[in-house]
Structures are given as structure tokens and as C-alpha cells.
Amino acid sequence: MTTTTDTKPAIELLGLTKRFGRTTAVDDLSLRVAPGSTFGLIGPNGAGKTTTIKMLMGVLTPTLGLARALGIDAEVEPLTLKQRVGYVPEAHHMDRWMRVREVVAFCRSLYVSWNEDTCREMLDRFELDESKKVKQLSKGMLVKLSLVLAVSHEPELLVLDEPMAGLDPLAREEFLDGVLRTICERGQTVLFSTHSLDDVQRLADTVGILHGGRLLVHRNIEELLATTKRLRATLTNGRVPDRLPDNLIWQRVEGREWLVTVGEFTEETAQRLRAEEGVGHVEVIDLGLEDLFKDFIRGQRAVS
């Protein structure tokens, strides 16, 4: 379930739990993200993505467990952590009365390291008018400004919390292009949470699926897609076999058709299914990330 590396992880969550009264937003979450990798955290609304990121960034105290970024516990050294991490939020609450150049100057004054060339280059590339006030910027421009501010101090870790929500396709493309350039040029570790599975497939090396505050899966995307398959079987007697396939993620029966999504798929899995009594034709279907995500979530909902 968890990708392990010998190197010191860029992000390390150990038994991270957050409860708000009786509601558990994040439940015993453990995760390690290797340095230099791009990790996509996906999950439905209310899955606990933002809460996890807030705990990682030290703006929310965990009920239990530990969150470390770059080996720093945000509860112990929040300022050291924030010096080394760039963050782009979903909603942008920077002072609306400030001009773009004032926001940039304000942020520049707070960081020990600030690469003015990077900042200038990105402002130019995004065509951000520095004389404009923040309140005059469109959502797309705001996201771009956030990215400029998040990467200009050359952070070792870039955290993007659903930054592309509500962006038009063009703004989205320009933003992603900016993120991709950052990743390619600097080799930073990137954590981004999103609803867009296309973006995950485009950017991420590894993906984590979060549901109900629990991490359902954390793997390399290519491996995950290669080993997770949907099987379409015909049930000759209309009944599901007693012995279900191993690593079952989700299943559905419609008449005589049985759809089963399984993890760690091998040819043997299909053969074993064909050998079951009452199972006729078995077809193996490749899944895209979107179908895979849906099956993981539907499987969990069925269980709960």
C-alpha cells in the first residue's frame, strides 16, 4: 500500500488523526513521499485532503499522530518549515487592497531566500500587471500570483491545495504549465490535492486516494494502472461465486453480468475466476485513473 524508500522522506505522516468533535476528518493516516517526487492526493469532497495539508503546514493541530515535511515537525518549528515550503491554496485570501507589487514586496520581506529573477520571470510569463490591486485580479490571475509567491523563495517542497478549482481551461493550462516548469527546472517535491484526475495523471509520479479520512491506496500511477483491472464476467447461473477474487476493490452484478475491480491483478487472477463454477466468459478491461478512482470510492462506500 505504501511506497517505501530508503532516503529521508520529504513528507512523512505517522498515524495522523484529526477529530472535530465526533467527526473524524483524518483517520490514522500514514504516508511517506520521496524527495523530488510529485504526489497527487485525490479524494471526494470531505475526504480530508485540506485538513491533512493544514496539519502538515502547521496551521491545524493533529488530534493524534505526527506530520513532518522535510524532516520538520510543523508543531515544533513552524517558521522554519514555512521558510522551506511553498503553498498555493484553493481560496486566495491575500489582502485585497494590496497591489500586486506590494504583495510581492511584503512576501519578499518575510523570506530568508528570495530569487528575484524567478519572481520577475514568472510575473512576466503570467502577464501579471504589478500595478493592479489584488481585488481587480481574476481567479486565474490570483492563482498565478499565488504560484509566483509560492515558488519565488525557491522552496524544497511545493504544496498545492486544489489550486485549479473553478479555473477556466486556459487558465488551468497556463497554471499547470507553470507548475510543470517549476518541477522540471528545480526538481522540487510537489504535493498537490485535486479533484481533477487528468491533472494527476499529467503531473504526478505517485497518487494517494483518500476517502473518509483514510488512505485507500498510495502507489506509483503507472504501477497502479498496470495492476488494477476490471473483470467483466458472465454468470451462467446468475449467482456470484462464493470465493471472491483476492484484492477485491469493487463489484457489481447486473443481471448475468458481473463487474469486478481487483488490485494486484495477474493473469492468474483471471484464470482463477474462469475456473469458478457458474462463471462463463471473463474479459479483462484496462482502467483509466478516473474509473479506478471511482471504483475505489464506490467499493469503500459499499463496505461502509
* Residue 141 C-beta: closest distance to other proteins, Å: 16
Nearer to other proteins, 7 or 109 (CB): 109
DSSP summary character for residue 99: B
**Torsion angle of alpha carbons 149, 200, 56, 94, nearest 10°?**
30
Contact 131, 161 (CB under 8 A): no
Which residue in 34, 108, 100, 18 sits closest to 67, CA to CA?
18
Alpha-carbon torsion (285, 290, 292, 295), positive or negative: negative
* Residue 220 C-beta: closest distance to other proteins, Å: 29
Contact 136, 100 (CB under 8 A): no
Nearer to other proteins, 18 or 32 (CB): 18
Please list, in sequence order, all residues whose beta carbon lies within 8 angstroms of the beta carbon of residue 22, skipping any fewer than 6 positions away. none
Nearer to other proteins, 75 or 156 (CB): 75
Nearer to other proteins, 24 or 227 (CB): 24
CB atoms within 10 A of CB 155: 23
* Residue 17 C-beta: closest distance to other proteins, Å: 16
Which residue in 248, 32, 47, 73 sits closest to 162, CA to CA?
47
Nearer to other proteins, 11 or 270 (CB): 11
Contact 53, 85 (CB under 8 A): no
Nearer to other proteins, 71 or 288 (CB): 71
* Residue 61 C-beta: closest distance to other proteins, Å: 5
* Residue 121 C-beta: closest distance to other proteins, Å: 22
Nearer to other proteins, 95 or 264 (CB): 95
DSSP codes joined into one string, 155-213: -SEEEEESTTTT--HHHHHHHHHHHHHHHHHH--EEEEEES-HHHHHHH-SEEEEEETT
* Residue 21 C-beta: closest distance to other proteins, Å: 15
* Residue 49 C-beta: closest distance to other proteins, Å: 16
Question: What are the residues binding other proteins (CB under 8 A)?
Answer: 57-61, 75, 79, 82-83, 87, 89, 91-98, 105-107, 109-111
